[in-house]
């Protein structure tokens, strides 16, 4: 990304594979590579939630400022204190393969994240390497589409990308600028590219508007209708609707409240009937199935030794590597710390191999 300033590379004493290299939007940019573990946080690396889909998160960067962003991404972020990127594509693919091997299934590698995956400079290489792996059945990518052009899409197609999950939240150009929080978001261009993907490439298109109650109630069904009309859903369902989620550290448009799940599902059933499109596809329709989950290594209450390596992605958090080098761990509640400090921590949260801990 153009906004990345080059700075002095600062390695972490005693820890290989973690380097703070320059700044982006005034925040440190932390680069991960072999042999740093690529599992353990929600924001970078690989997440296994017990199905044949693995979430692959190569970067936290995003160049939009969506006003509803539940992960507070982009230049206008208030809660983030650092951004992260995985430099080493081979290492990331190795983690995907090792996890898939343990699960005993060929997986879908879903490239997503707490940022915009298309900002990842080595995305084509990542898609190609994932697609070449005998452990990967399909490769999908989530995007808001702001950085696409036909040449890029063709590169992804040649690299073997199977599906693009495109988030378009309205068909109104001005509203799209308002929702994405940037004047330069060009909805017409994104729509044309969506049509190009659906009609002229082998890549499937799946459209995923976020429903923000009271803000785009009329827009969501229009987006779904448009998705079907342009030919989305060659192999997977053409569209699903995402729920607006309120997070403590997320962004929320003024006056908007998160609705209960039963209200959300009821509205989706109504839209499905009205539009003749199933907006609540089953796991089978998605090609999803349960698959053995990589067991958590540490349990809540365990005391483990970690090495502090970098600021965490959110304020008042620190990223650590477990002393056995098996997982990343987010440490909260530290007043002072230095890169390379080794401390004991108590695990507070342990779910899906995502760990949060505090000093013991």
Residues of this chain that bind ligand SF4 (CB under 6 A): 62, 64-66, 69, 71, 73-74, 115-116, 144
Least separation in angstroms between CB 303 and ligand SF4: 35
31 vs 144, which CB is nearer to ligand SF4?
144
Min separation Cβ 29 and ligand SF4, Å? 17
E strand residue ranges, the chain: 4-12, 15-24, 27-32, 45-48, 53-57, 83-86, 107-111, 136-143, 163-166, 204-207, 210-211, 242-243, 303-311, 317-322, 328-332, 342-351, 354-359
Provide, rounded to whole angstroms, the least separation between the CB of residue 110 and ligand SF4.
Answer: 14
Smaller CB separation from ligand SF4, 74 or 312: 74
Nearer to ligand SF4, 115 or 221 (CB): 115
CB of 308 to ligand SF4, least distance (A): 27
Task: Using the minimum distance from each CB to ligand SF4, give the nearer residue, 45 or 115.
Answer: 115
- Residue 292 Cβ, how far from ligand SF4 at the closest point, in Å? 30
Provide the minimum distance between the beta carbon of 221 and ligand SF4 in the complex, in angstroms, as a whole number: 21
Q: Are strands 107-111 and 136-143 parallel, antiparallel or unpaired?
A: parallel
CA angle (1, 165, 51) in 5-degree steps: 110
Of 77 and 201, nearer to ligand SF4 (C-beta) is 77
Q: Of 179 and 347, which CB lies nearer to ligand SF4 in the complex structure? A: 179
**Which of residues 56 and 291 has its CB atom nearest to ligand SF4 in the complex?**
56
246/165 Cα distance (integer angstroms): 22
Q: How far apart are CA 272 and CA 264, in angstroms?
A: 12
What are the C-alpha distances in Å from 348 to residues 147, 293, 299, 306, 354? 38, 20, 8, 14, 11
Task: Give the residue from 64, 62, 20 showing the smallest Cα distance to 177.
Answer: 64
SS3 content of the chain, % helix, strand, coil (to 5): 25, 30, 45
Residue 182 or 321: the one with the smaller Cβ distance to ligand SF4 is 182
Q: How far is the CB of 69 from ligand SF4 (least distance, A)?
A: 3
**Residue closer to ligand SF4, measured from CB, 173 or 275:** 173
Residue number, 245 or 283, with CB nearest to ligand SF4 = 245
Query: Are 118 and 147 in contact, with CB atoms under 8 Å apart?
Result: yes
Give the 3-state DSSP-derived string for 283-322, with helices as H, strands as E and coil as C.
Answer: HHHHCCCECCCCCCCCCCCCEEEEEEEEECCECCEEEEEE
What's the start-to-end Cα distance of the chain, in Å? 39
Separation between Cα atoms, residue 147 and residue 119, nearest integer Å: 8
- Evaluate the omega torsion of the peptide bond into residue 35 and state whether it is cis, within 30 degrees of 0: yes
CB of 60 to ligand SF4, least distance (A): 9
Q: How far apart, in whole angstroms, are the C-alpha atoms of residue 220 and residue 210? A: 8
Spatial contact of 34 and 57, defined as CB atoms under 8 Å apart: no
CA nearest neighbour of 193 among 250, 228, 151, 159: 151
Shortest distance, CB of residue 61 to ligand SF4, whole angstroms? 9
C-beta of 64: minimal distance to ligand SF4 in Å? 4
């Amino acid at each position: 990304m153009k906004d990345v300033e080059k700075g002095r590379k600062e390695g972490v004493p005693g820890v290989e594979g973690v380097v703070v290299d320059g700044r982006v939007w005034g925040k440190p940019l932390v680069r991960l590579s072999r042999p740093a573990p690529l599992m353990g946080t929600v924001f970078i690396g690989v997440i296994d939630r017990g199905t044949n889909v693995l979430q692959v998160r190569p970067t936290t960067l995003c160049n939009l400022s969506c006003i509803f962003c539940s992960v507070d991404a982009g230049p206008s972020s208030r809660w983030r204190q650092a951004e992260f990127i995985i430099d080493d594509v081979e290492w990331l693919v190795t983690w995907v393969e090792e996890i898939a091997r343990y699960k005993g299934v060929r997986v879908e590698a879903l490239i997503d994240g707490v940022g915009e995956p298309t900002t990842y400079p080595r995305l084509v290489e990542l898609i190609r390497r994932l697609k070449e792996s005998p452990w990967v059945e399909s490769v999908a990518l989530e995007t808001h589409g702001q950085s696409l052009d036909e040449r890029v899409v063709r590169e992804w197609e040649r690299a073997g990308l199977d599906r693009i999950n495109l988030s378009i939240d309205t068909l109104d150009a001005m509203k799209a600028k308002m929702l994405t929080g940037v004047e330069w978001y060009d909805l017409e261009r994104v729509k044309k590219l969506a049509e190009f993907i659906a009609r002229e490439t082998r890549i499937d298109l799946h459209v995923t508007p976020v429903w923000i109650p009271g803000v785009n109630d009329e827009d969501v069904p229009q987006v779904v209708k448009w998705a079907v009309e342009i030919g989305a859903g060659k192999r997977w369902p053409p569209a699903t609707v995402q729920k607006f989620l309120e997070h403590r550290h997320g962004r929320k448009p003024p006056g908007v409240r998160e609705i209960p799940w039963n209200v959300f599902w009821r509205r989706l059933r109504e839209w499905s009937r009205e539009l003749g499109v199933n907006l609540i596809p089953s796991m089978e329709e998605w090609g999803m199935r349960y698959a053995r989950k990589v067991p958590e290594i540490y349990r809540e209450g365990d005391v483990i030794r970690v090495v502090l390596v970098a600021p965490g992605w959110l304020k008042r958090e620190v990223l650590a590597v477990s002393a056995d080098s098996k997982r990343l761990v987010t440490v909260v509640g530290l007043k002072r710390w230095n890169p390379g400090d080794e401390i004991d921590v108590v695990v507070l949260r342990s779910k899906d191999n995502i760990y949060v801990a505090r000093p013991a």
